[in-house]
Every structure is written in C-alpha cells, then in structure tokens.
Chains A and B, each alone.
Chain A
Amino acid sequence: MARVEVRNVSLTFGAHKAVDDVSISFEDGGFYALLGPSGSGKTTLLRMIAGFEFPDEGSIHIGGEAVESVPVNKRRIGMVFQNYALFPNMSVAGNVAFGLQVRGEKGETVRRDVADALELVQLGHLADRRPHQLSGGQRQRVALARAIVTKPRVLLLDEPLSALDKALRTDMQVELKRIQREVGVTTIFVTHDQDEALSISDRIGILNNGRIVQEGAPEEIYDRPKSEFAATFLGDANIFAGTFDGTRLRLQNGEAIDLPSDARPANGDLRLAIRPERVRLVPSAALAESGSSQSSSHLAGTITRRMFSGSQSTYLVESGGQEYKAIVMRGNAGELEVGTPVAMQWDRSDLIVL
C-alpha cells in the first residue's frame, strides 16, 4: 500500500505526445478512475506507473521511492489486464501462486495465501480448473486474485470489465469495490465508461489528448466541471456559448441568460453549462396562463424529439437554431408531445460557468 505520485510526466511516441506533462497523485488506499476518450493516453499513463513504458520526462514515485527507472518486476505492483492474461498452461491455483513462487515463497505459505486470495474472490472451489474452463467473470476474479495475492503497493487495472456484459459488469464493480476496501490497496482503474468511473471510484482523473483535464471527487467533477470537455464527457451537458456584457450572457441568436449570482466572469466570450436533468419544461400555453416568468431564466423552444427510457424521458428541444436536452422524471404529469412549444426553465444556481 502506498501513495503514488506522478510529476510532470511526458511520453512521446514518434511525433505524437501520448502523455503530456501530467501531474497527479494517488493517495494511499484510494480508489482512482482514469477516465478519457479513446487515445487520450490512459493506458500509456498506467503503463508508465506499472513500468512497461518509461517516461521521457518527469518522475514517478511509489511510496516515496522514485521508480522511473525501476523495471516492472521490481516495482511491487499488481496489474489486471483487459483480456485477463491468465497463463493458459497453469491451473487457477497455479496462476495465483505464480507471483508468490517467483518471489521465492515456499510450499505451505504459498498454499495458504493462494487459498486466502481465492476465498476473497469467492473462487475457492475452482482452484484446479484451467483458465479456458472459466467464464469471463470468473477469469476476471482469478486475474484479480493473482494481482493482489502478492500484496502489491498499488493495483493497476486497464479496462478490466470492458469484456463483460452489462449485468455482470455491475456485479463485478461492486465486487471489485468490496475487495479493494478489504485489502486497502491503492487502486488505479482505467476506463472510458463514465458511469463506471462515477459509481466505483473515490476520485476521478479526466484525461484528454494526453493531459489531465480535471481531477477530483466524482460529485465535484459532475457538479463543477471546469471545462466544456469535462462537462460533456462526464455526464451530459447543454452548453450556452455567447458573450458576457457585464450583466447577462448574450447568445448568438439574441437571447440573454442570467448568470448565477455568485459568478464574476470577465467580459467577453463565455460559456455556461447546465445538466439536462436540471432543465424543466413548461408548455408555453401553461406559462402564459400563470404569467410567471421572472422567477427563473428561461428559453423558448419546441420539442423535436422524445426518448423514453423507463423511469425518465429525455426531450430534445430546439431553440434559436440550437438543440438542447432535458431529462424529466416521469411523475403524474403527462408526457409532452413532439411539436409542443415549451419554455426551458432552470435555477440560476444550477448554471455552471466554464
């Protein structure tokens, strides 16, 4: 168990900077997700922490020890691969024992530790099977047991669940979290699935083009994204782009939007974001009846599409040549039809200044 610190690390492949001046620290015992689109450098960063790639610049510390030039087998890390990478020539128990044996552990210790690790992942009864006789979920558990049985200082996982179907994946997320809590190992988990990152990790680092865009607790990043990329990549967001004239944000089409009362941006180009579930839809007819439009900001528009997904409906609303998204929980209120003129409303405090 140890703290991992990555300082100003860069790695260039040919002319392409895969990881670009990344600094991020992973606290002891924390569960971190590295999230980003394909090609953003997640795997490369993870492989540098593991010791499969070596940074051109910068330093990596594990438990206070500088490891940039330490080979992978001396780093005392545990790694779980996307395709499990179980040794096909060994049994389940043999796979788990491998790391102990190469460290010179003998007979009884190995047997006991292997049994404990398999117990932890609830696979004690399959110890004698070969990897090809296991299901995907079981293989993943073996890979996990194999990675943690050596008591690594840090556990690295590169999209370990992406080969599993959705139901199994959710199970494994819970399982992984439980095991991580039990073992207490610092864990870095690479994924490009935002739901997975949100539900499983204590903290998330978002990568784009080889750079860390934002790092923080899941709620923090979701509620206060610092950039349009962070806002739209983690969760959905409607973006209002325009110019700030000192009091309000003027959109290209002439509409104006009030800013949150505590925002003090500089005049000029400005972007605001709002989460679709914070947008309320009120039929224009109903709005005209009550005559109350002062309480919150609003934009007038027309519903162009409705997508129903069980507990909620997602509406696409066209306004001033832009399309916006609103997610409405399905209560007693009736559904709105496509073509209905509506006002999109929200609380000013729900707007995010980017």
Chain B
Amino acid sequence: MAATMTQENGLRKAFPLLLPAYAWLTLAIFLPLSAMVYFSLLTSMSPSEQSSSLTLENYAAFFSDPLYVTLLLRSLRLGLVVTLICILVGFPAAYVLAKIFKGRAREAIFLLVILPFWSNSLVRVFSWSMVLREGGILDTALNSILPFEVTFDLMYSYPAVVIGLVHSYLPYMVLTCYLSLQAIDDALIEAARSLGASRLTTLRRVVAPLALPGVLAGSALIFIPVVGSFMEPRILGGRGGTLYGTVIEDQFTAVYNWPLGAALSFILLAVVLVILLVSAPVLRKTA
C-alpha cells in the first residue's frame, strides 16, 4: 500500500520531466502510425480514385499468398542469424573494451567500434559491395596473397547481406554489452577467481549472467530492424535478397500499393511484439 502510494507520488513528480519526451513520441510515432493504420485499411490510395473504402483485404492478402509467410520466416531467420553473430562478435569485443583495455587504448578502440555509426548507411553498404564483388577488394587481396587462383564472389548472396547487416548493427551490441559489462565490479571477477574459478568459469557463471541485460537490449535493438531491413538485402543480396522488408518497400516505392505495404508492416510489428512478449518471461527467468 505504502509502496504504491510513493510510486504514484513519484510519478506525479516525474510528470513534468516526462512530458517533453511523451509529447515528442506522440508527434513522431503515434500520429504517423495511426495514419498508417488508416492506410492499411483502405482499398486503394491513388489520388485519382476517390472511391476508396475501408476493408480488411490487405491483411487477408498476407494469409492468402504463402509467399509472404515464407518471406517473413526468411526475414526472421536472417534477424536471428545477424543477432547471434553480433552477440558472438560484439560481446567479446565489449568485454575486452570494458575489462581489459584501460585509458587511451580503450578510447581508440571505442572510436573504431563507433565509426560505422558516423558514416552514411548507404555509403557503408556500397563500400561493402566494392569489397565483396568478384574482382573487388577482397577478391584481389586474397589472390595477391594466395599462391593459387580463387574466384571470390560473395556479392549478391545471402552471406553478403549478413555481412552488411552485421557491420551496420554490431555497434549496438558492443555498446549495450559494454555498458552492462562496465557496471560489473571488478572485485566480483576477482572474487570468483580467488575462489578457484578459471577465467572461462568466471565468464560463464558471473560475468555473462550479469551482462545478460545488455546482451538482451542489444539483441532487441538489432533483431527488430534487421527483420524489417530492405536496403542491405536489396543492394548486397541481389535476386536472393528478396525478403519481407524489401517486399514492403516495393509496395511503397515501386508498386505504390501503400495500403498493402502498411498492412504487411503491421503484421511484422505484431509478429515481433509477440516474439518479444513470449521470450520476455523466459529470459527473465534465466537472468
């Protein structure tokens, strides 16, 4: 009773501080989103036809064509793969940054990690295409080192999409893991070691569980946009790069079927939310 009272009191005090953030969220997300909800329920949106009416057909389209489900599953798998790779690469990097490097070295490496953030995402993706294509930088470099001839063409393939996405989203994982790792008191690690735990056991039983919130936050930040990604798949994936996100993009930019695009977007949003809701209690238990 007393606890809820103080909580309410705290909320009332926090209200003026929260107001700007909520006002912004309302303007920037809620309004466009409601517009999209409205679009998704229209039969058509072209300005010439005045006779558009409300319908659920756009949502039905998703279920009537198995292609959409296939593409959604493929996008979800891509999200999973990219997130896992980001964890495998990002967590150790964050660990080294947070627990091993100190001072200057830490700042320098940190800068390298953040650097992709500062370059334009389109530039980033196109530079990967220069690296990955046949006769590109990676191909040429490998051939100049290796004694035998290899043709190396990752361009327009699934791996190219994965590489491009990992590169784009890795900084999120490094940053969130870094923050949670940095908050772990070094004395905890030393305590575990003094009790006889090897470095690996210490990592597994003390560091990893305590850093889990950071890993989860990073995963959510990566998984959601990757599932809906369209730019990297389109530029790096070629024909194999048709994914749920690219189909949505087509509706908006090529086919001009905004209602269908909006409906597909909301189905994606619903699926992602369900995944997050289902996984939340499980993850909380392990944490």
Contacts and interface: CB of A to CB of B under 8 A. Distances in A.
Contacts, number: 65
A102 B194 contact: no
Contact of A85 (B185, B197, B198): B185
Interface in B47-87: none
B187 A85 contact: yes
Contacts of A51: 194
A76 B195 CA distance: 8
Given A89-B206, A89-B209, A102-B201, A52 B190 contact: yes
A78 B194 contact: yes
Contacts of B10: none
Contacts of B205: 98, 102
A154 B167 CA distance: 49
Nearest to B190: A52
A147 B197 CA distance: 13
A88 B210 contact: yes
A292 B197 CA distance: 71
A85 B190 contact: yes
A103 B196 contact: yes
Contacts of B195: 73, 78, 98-99, 102, 146-147, 150
B192 interface: yes
A87 B194 CA distance: 13
A51 B201 CA distance: 17
Contact of A83 (B187, B194, B196): B187
Given A89-B209, A98-B205, A102-B201, A73 B193 contact: yes
B28 to A, nearest CB: 37
**How large, as a class, is the contact surface on chain B?**
10 to 19
B188 A102 contact: no
B192 A87 contact: yes
Interface string B206-221: 1001100000000000
A254 B205 CA distance: 70
A221 interface: no
A52 B209 CA distance: 23
B194 A50 contact: yes
A6 interface: no
Interface string A290-330: 00000000000000000000000000000000000000000
Nearest to A50: B194
Contacts of A82: 187
Given A88-B210, A89-B210, A73 B190 contact: no
A251 B198 CA distance: 61
Contact of B194 (A77, A86, A88, A89): A77
Nearest to A82: B187
Contacts of A87: 188, 191-192, 206
Interface residues of A, number: 26
Contacts of A79: 190-191, 194
Contacts of A71: 193
A81 interface: yes
A241 interface: no
Contacts of B190: 52, 72, 79, 81, 85
B98 to A, nearest CB: 17
B181 to A, nearest CB: 14
Nearest to A96: B195
A86 B194 CA distance: 12
Given A89-B210, A98-B205, A76 B196 contact: yes
Q: Which of B191, B192, B210 has the most CB of A within 10 A?
A: B191
Contacts of B191: 79, 81, 85-87, 146
B200 to A, nearest CB: 10
B209 to A, nearest CB: 5
Contacts of A99: 195-197
A55 B287 CA distance: 39
A78 B192 CA distance: 10
Nearest to B184: A88
A207 B179 CA distance: 38
A328 to B, nearest CB: 45
A219 B196 CA distance: 37
A72 B190 CA distance: 9
Interface of A: 50-52, 71-74, 76-79, 81-83, 85-89, 98-99, 102-103, 146-147, 150
- A-B interface, 4 closest residue pairs, ranked by CB to CB distance from nearest: A99-B195, A85-B187, A79-B194, A85-B191
12 contacts: A51-B194, A71-B193, A72-B190, A73-B193, A73-B195, A79-B194, A82-B187, A85-B188, A85-B191, A88-B210, A102-B205, A147-B195
Given A73-B195, A73-B198, A83-B185, 17 more contacts: A51-B194, A79-B190, A82-B187, A83-B187, A85-B185, A86-B191, A87-B191, A87-B192, A89-B210, A89-B287, A98-B205, A99-B195, A102-B192, A102-B197, A102-B205, A103-B196, A146-B195
